[in-house]
Amino acid sequence: MINISERHSMIRDTAHSFCEREIRPVADALDEAEVFPEKLYSRMAEIGLFGVSLPDSDGGVGADMLAYAIVMEEIGRGYASLADELGNVEMVGTLLSRYGTPEQKSRYLDPLLKGTYVSAFAITEANAGSDVAGIRTMATRAANGWELNGEKIWIHNAPNFDFAVVLARTDKDKGHRGMSTFLVDRNLPGVSSGRKERKMGQRASQVGPISFDNVHLPDDALLGPENRGFHQMMSVLEKGRIGIAGMAVGIIRAALDASIEQAKMRHQFSEPIANFQAIQILLADMAKDLHAARLLTYAAAEKLEKEGRAGLEVSIAKCFASDAAVARSSDAIQIFGGSGYIRGFEVERLYRDAKITQIYEGTNQIQRMIIARQLIAD
């Protein structure tokens, strides 16, 4: 049974009110402009939505994984790009909270949680997407530190980051056991980001490449122990997948709300289309998947909170919720008919925003492999 406490309800109310008052009225304009939502980013920090599951001793909210899933659902209902930013802060913040020195926390985590820094989570490369072990970016020992070379692609906030958490090889002969995590400031010589990519959906969150050309890093740029970077990054991916699942639940919810309103308002053959069984079936399937996705996500969040690992449950929740978000936002367009295909209608944006949830934080094909392997493991 999912235990929604009074604190969970208070956090939900805060996120819900913020979504209604400040996100939903501008979501379509942000999508059209494709600009980073700087004011709303700062506002999320100001009202206490950054670092929901991080300990309060590190400047976080000190709540749990269920609270994080709830917040991602509420913000995802308003605009997935804002939820995407919130999730990025949660993942980078978790790495800094778990592995950072007091000095690193002061320099990076504090301003990140206050909304004055924007971070990039830099893993993906041209030949290393789902196969993280295939990265080629290299950090080699140099005088008083490290020298970093390589290129990352499809990096969230690459066009506008203040610092990046970068996974790089530090021992080319040890595979995934020879990778380390580094904190890299954008203004260092040799750090450059390419053009902002024009995306299908979630267009207000910026994506692009970052390249490192003989970037000198001091010794204290290393985050955690040397050669433990792969394990560090993997340790936060389950949390990341909870966040994506929560975001997808929010998209389904927005699609259902819009569809119910449209079905009651739109008339055909002299009556509301809500009276037609074909439309009722679509609405029922949307509601069914919304409830199932939410329960799967909340249950996975609770297990991850209690046990520290929940690979099977997290993969099931992420896979189901994101598949449902794509399918049910498509159904919403069907209910809207021709108008649902027109830019400026919410359901058209929801469909575009939903698609990436099947891809990032591990594609749904990878999630199915994880699920299957655990099912047949001895």
Whether residue 155 has pLDDT greater than 70: yes
Q: What is the pLDDT of residue 40?
A: 98
* pLDDT tens figures, 277-303: 999 999 999 999 999 999 999 999 999
Question: What is the reported pLDDT for 373?
Answer: 95
User: To the nearest whole number, what is the mean pLDDT of the chain?
Assistant: 96
Q: Which of 53-67, 169-183, 237-251 shows the lowest mean pLDDT across its residues? A: 169-183
Lowest mean pLDDT among 94-108, 128-142, 173-187, 313-327: 128-142
Apex CA 70: angle with CA 64 and CA 71, to 5°?
90
Rounded distance, CA 61 to CA 57, Å? Answer: 9
| C-beta of residue 255 within 8 angstroms of C-beta of residue 347 | yes
CATH topology classification for 120-230: Butyryl-CoA Dehydrogenase, subunit A; domain 2 (2.40.110)
Percent residues over pLDDT 70 in the chain: 99
pLDDT 10s digits, 68-77: 999 999 999 9
Q: What is the per-residue pLDDT for 374? A: 92
CATH node for 235-376: 1.20.140.10
Known catalytic residues are 361
243 phi, psi to nearest 5 deg: -60, -45
Average pLDDT on 17-27 reads 98
Cα separation values, 376 from 73, 137, 308, 312, Å: 32, 34, 22, 12
Note the pTM of the prediction, 2 decimals.
0.96
Helix (H) or strand (E) holding 207: strand 207-218
A 10 A CB-CB count for 116 gives 12
Alpha-helix residue ranges (DSSP H) falling in 34-175: 38-46, 65-78, 80-99, 102-104, 110-113
Say which CATH topology domain 6-118 has.
Butyryl-Coa Dehydrogenase, subunit A; domain 1 (1.10.540)
**Would you say 183 and 223 are in contact if contact means Cβ atoms under 8 Å apart?**
yes
Q: How confident is the model at residue 132, as a pLDDT?
A: 81
pLDDT band at 378 (very low <50, low <70, confident <90, very high): low
Once rounded to an integer, what is the mean pLDDT over residues 352-365? 96
Digit-coded pLDDT (tens) for 228-258: 999 999 889 999 999 999 999 999 999 999 9
Give the 3-state secondary structure of residue 142. Answer: strand
Determine the 3-state secondary structure of 239 from DSSP. helix
Checking if the pLDDT of 54 tops 70, the result is: yes
- Residue spans per domain, the chain: 6-118, 120-230, 235-376
How many residues are listed for the chain in this entry? 378
pLDDT band for position 1 (cuts 50, 70, 90) = low
Q: Is the pLDDT of residue 3 over 90?
A: no
Residue 133 pLDDT greater than 70, yes or no = yes
pLDDT at 86 over 80: yes
